[in-house]
């Protein structure tokens, strides 16, 4: 009877109408409810809360995004006091070292996916400060795909493997992703970053990090300063090339994870400089973009990055699950002196991250896990719940109370800022920045968020020639995997708004018509965005790089040991690769230990190659070994530094490389030593310089036919 009554009362709606779980028709699922076009998101937005909540609880226990990760412990220390801008202790005492835990991750793939896929990388830092935990939860790209957090479930659903067959894993080269982004112009800036080599970091040690959002620093007087956070690796910013990244996924899917672990174990500690773009509140509207728009950068020509401190990662976790897997980052974990802005993506993340941990870690007490536990004392009235590890003894778990002498009591203090009411003092409790909020509650996006193409054009204009070639090739690869001709056409049409040459080059590679011109390229560039920019090359030389030495029976041992020892003094890992494992016979009569058998590895796992010289039999063995020939040819194709010692140059010719004797100027990054015996000091320094440059894209990469 009850079912009949419900059936008769049911209203039939068009099956195509979007509704909430409560069957309420939805009129806008692209904009969250906020107070004014630029105001904060309102908790009254039941559709946002339902949509985000359902999304947050879709996977148990693996993270929905950023599932594949690796982490390490370390410390952060400021260069000087930033008391002028903030009351955060970890930024105001240059003598203080604050413990940190950092987790690096990919976004799309599952825990079992490969490290080297084309993807955004997470760069999340937990600062264990004496005022509580501060989580800076960012990425290796300074912008995001969407402007409003209510679109995050849609974006991730489109990016994830397609629901009917769960493919592809850890990749964006498929129809649903390109369908979504080609319909959402706001994604264009992040997509062009994704198509660049920034999506293929050589290692976590050589990867930038960004806070993405505009945060706010607050000082003792209650004065606010907008801030953008930047991490810059001391090792320099280095990337793989796409062919190499794909092969590494097969050779060693743990490539980045292994590099981080082995580098720390070897004492080559990853180091990063924290920089800040500091923007006075009076300049909030001084730009031709909106500071609250997470799809925009603040070009460094407009606001330079101020170096403020140094972070070093010097300890590997003891247990991956207990620490790296259970670490819980929450955007809402901030400390006095740091506050949020009204960025609508950040506003949704404030809710989403905490909500996610409740399911992933089994309840509200995840902060008691050792990796999440603050170093500052925790005292509150929270009790019970899944995973409770404490045994409270207080007779009163409420406030106010008299049975426990009013404890834990509220922290008073704070000083009055001019006309601002209560503001944080140097030892006061956290108080939210007293920002005036006023506006009509509606689902509307600010008109200042409407420009979706100027900054992608800025990024494109800032790239060097080889970077542009790689971006075009990436678009061609990705869109070449898209079955729908309509989606490919639409994506190229979006690129025409960025740059017509870019769009035409991509169109020519994916079988669609070249687009019509729809906009002029504004011609502006920002050198800081290019990986060829000298500022990003690093300051720690070649420590942590890995070099392969190719040898065979009859090798001249001194030619190997002298160069390997010189490189190891600079922190380089040198591995000797022979036709088989064990040892090779030296021309001097001794045995040279082999680190790995050549067929078990590949050039893609190394940063440089050295071909050893030796007897005619040694040279003949290498030149007739298909693995050795391919090893050298592939390293050359991937623009890596190569050294050939003595008769080892014969292997370069067998690999169809240009003759180093007849075309020395064409062999950028190829160093040779013609005479037998140990290499001269000049060759050592030349190869060190070639390694420091990382890649040599100026060389002709077409090999000479054999």
Q: Could you give the residue numbers annotated as active site?
A: 66, 139
Point out which residues pair with 35 in neighbouring strands.
441
How wide is the angle at C-alpha 468 spanned by C-alphas 462 and 470, nearest 5°?
A: 135
Q: Report yes or no: 146 and 107 within 8 Å, Cβ to Cβ.
A: no
Q: What is the DSSP letter of 162?
A: B
Cα separation, 406 vs 396, in Å, equals 9
Distance CA(702)–CA(573), nearest Å, equals: 29
Helix 500-510 to helix 485-496 angle, to the nearest 10 degrees? 160
Question: Are the C-beta atoms of residues 417 and 429 closer than 8 Å to each other?
Answer: no
Asked if 224 and 433 count as a contact pair (C-beta separation under 8 A), the reply is yes
Region for 246 from its dihedrals, namely left if φ exceeds 0, alpha if ψ lies in -120 to 50, beta otherwise: alpha
- CA atoms of 75 and 274, how far apart (whole Å): 12
DSSP character string of 21-63: TT--B-S-SSS--EESTTSPBPTT-HHHHHHHHHHHTSSSSS-
Phi and psi, residue 387, nearest 5°? 75, 20
- Reduced to 3 states (helix: H, G, I; strand: E, B; else coil), residue 71 is strand
CA distances from 311 to 73, 274, 328, 531 (A): 10, 7, 20, 22
**Pairing mode, strands 209-210 and 224-233:** antiparallel
DSSP 661: T
Query: Within 13 A of 322's CA, how many CA atoms are on the CB side?
Result: 8
Secondary structure (DSSP) of 328-375: ---TT---TTEE----HHHHHHHHHHHHHHHHHTTSTTGGGSTTT--S
What are the tokens at 507? 């169109």
Residue 198, classed as helix, strand or coil, is helix
- With H, G, I as helix, E, B as strand and everything else as coil, classify residue 4: helix
Q: Which of 473, 479, 474, 477 is nearest to 493 (CA)?
A: 479
Element containing residue 2 per DSSP (H, E): helix 2-9
Place of tokens 């994506």: 491
| Cβ atoms of 251 and 602 closer than 8 Å | yes
Structure tokens at 98: 């604050």
Residues forming beta bridges with residue 643, ordered by sequence position: 610, 671
CA atoms of 601 and 82, how far apart (whole Å): 48
Q: End-to-end CA distance of the chain, in Å?
A: 85
3-state secondary structure 418-478: CCCEEECCCCCCCCCCCCCCCCCEECCCCHHHCCCCHHHHHHHHHCCHHHHHHHHHHHHHH
**CA neighbor of 221 nearest in space, from 64, 58, 59, 423:** 423
Helix (H, G, I), strand (E, B) or coil at 88: coil
Whether 672 and 586 have beta carbons less than 8 Å apart is answered as no
CA 538 from chain centre, in angstroms, equals: 17
């Amino acid at each position: 009877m009850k079912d009949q009554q419900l059936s008769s009362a049911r209203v039939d709606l068009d099956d195509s109408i979007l509704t909430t779980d409560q069957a309420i028709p939805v009129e806008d699922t692209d904009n969250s409810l906020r107070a004014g076009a630029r105001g904060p998101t309102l908790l009254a937005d039941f559709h946002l809360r339902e949509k985000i909540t359902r999304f947050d609880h879709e996977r148990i226990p693996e993270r929905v995004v950023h599932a594949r990760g690796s982490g390490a412990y370390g410390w952060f220390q400021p260069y000087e006091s930033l008391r002028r801008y903030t009351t955060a202790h970890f930024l105001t005492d240059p003598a203080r070292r604050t413990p940190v835990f950092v987790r690096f991750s990919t976004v799309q793939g599952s825990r079992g996916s490969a490290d080297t896929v084309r993807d955004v990388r997470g760069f999340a830092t937990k600062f264990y400060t004496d005022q509580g935990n501060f989580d800076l939860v960012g990425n290796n790209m300074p912008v995001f795909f969407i402007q409003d957090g209510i679109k995050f479930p849609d974006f991730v659903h489109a990016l994830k493997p397609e629901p009917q067959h769960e493919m592809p894993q850890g990749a964006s080269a498929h129809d649903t992703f390109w369908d979504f982004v080609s319909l959402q112009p706001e994604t264009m800036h992040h997509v062009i970053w994704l198509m660049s080599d920034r999506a293929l970091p050589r290692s976590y040690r050589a990867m930038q990090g960004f806070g993405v959002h505009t945060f706010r620093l607050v000082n003792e007087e209650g004065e606010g300063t907008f801030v953008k956070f930047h991490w810059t690796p001391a090792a320099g910013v280095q990337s793989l090339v796409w062919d190499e990244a794909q092969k590494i996924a097969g050779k060693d899917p743990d490539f980045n994870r292994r590099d981080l672990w082995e580098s720390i174990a070897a004492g080559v500690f990853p180091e990063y400089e924290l920089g800040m773009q500091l923007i006075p509140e009076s300049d909030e509207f001084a730009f031709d973009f909106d500071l609250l728009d997470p799809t925009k950068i603040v070009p460094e020509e407009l606001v330079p990055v101020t170096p403020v401190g140094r972070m070093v990662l010097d300890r590997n976790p003891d247990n991956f699950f207990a620490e790296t897997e259970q670490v819980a980052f929450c955007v809402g974990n901030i400390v006095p002196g740091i506050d949020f802005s009204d960025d609508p993506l950040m506003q949704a993340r404030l809710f989403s991250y905490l909500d996610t941990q409740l399911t992933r870690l089994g309840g509200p007490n995840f902060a008691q896990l050792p990796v999440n536990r603050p170093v500052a004392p925790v005292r509150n009235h929270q009790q019970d719940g899944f995973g409770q590890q404490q045994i409270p003894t207080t007779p009163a778990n409420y406030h106010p109370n008299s049975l426990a002498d009013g404890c834990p009591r509220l922290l008073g203090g704070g000083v009055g800022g001019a006309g601002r009411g209560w503001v944080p003092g140097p030892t006061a409790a956290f108080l939210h920045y007293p920002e005036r909020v006023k506006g009509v509650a509606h689902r509307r996006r600010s008109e200042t968020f409407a420009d979706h193409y100027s900054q992608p054009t800025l990024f494109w204009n800032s790239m060097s020639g080889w970077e542009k070639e790689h971006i075009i090739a990436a678009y061609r690869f990705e869109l070449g995997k898209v079955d729908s001709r309509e989606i490919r056409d639409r994506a190229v049409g979006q690129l025409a708004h960025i740059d017509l040459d870019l769009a035409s080059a991509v169109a020519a590679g994916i079988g669609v018509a070249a687009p019509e011109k729809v906009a002029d390229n504004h011609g502006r560039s920002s050198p800081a965005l290019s990986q060829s920019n000298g500022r990003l090359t690093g300051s720690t030389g070649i420590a942590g790089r890995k070099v392969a030495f190719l040898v065979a029976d009859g090798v001249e041992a001194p030619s190997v040991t002298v160069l390997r020892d010189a490189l190891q003094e600079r922190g380089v890992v040198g591995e000797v690769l022979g036709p088989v494992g064990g040892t090779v016979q030296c021309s001097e009569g001794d045995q040279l230990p082999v680190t790995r058998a050549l067929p078990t590895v590949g050039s893609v796992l190394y940063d440089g190659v050295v071909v050893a010289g030796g007897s005619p039999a040694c040279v003949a063995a290498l030149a007739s070994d298909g693995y050795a020939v391919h090893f050298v040819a592939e390293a050359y194709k991937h623009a890596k530094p190569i050294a050939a010692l003595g008769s080892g140059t014969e292997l370069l010719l067998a690999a169809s490389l240009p003759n180093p004797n007849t075309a020395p100027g064409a062999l950028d990054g190829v160093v040779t030593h013609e005479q037998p015996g140990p290499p001269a000091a000049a060759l050592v320094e030349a190869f060190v310089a070639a390694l420091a440059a990382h890649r040599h894209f100026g060389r002709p990469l077409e090999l000479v036919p054999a």
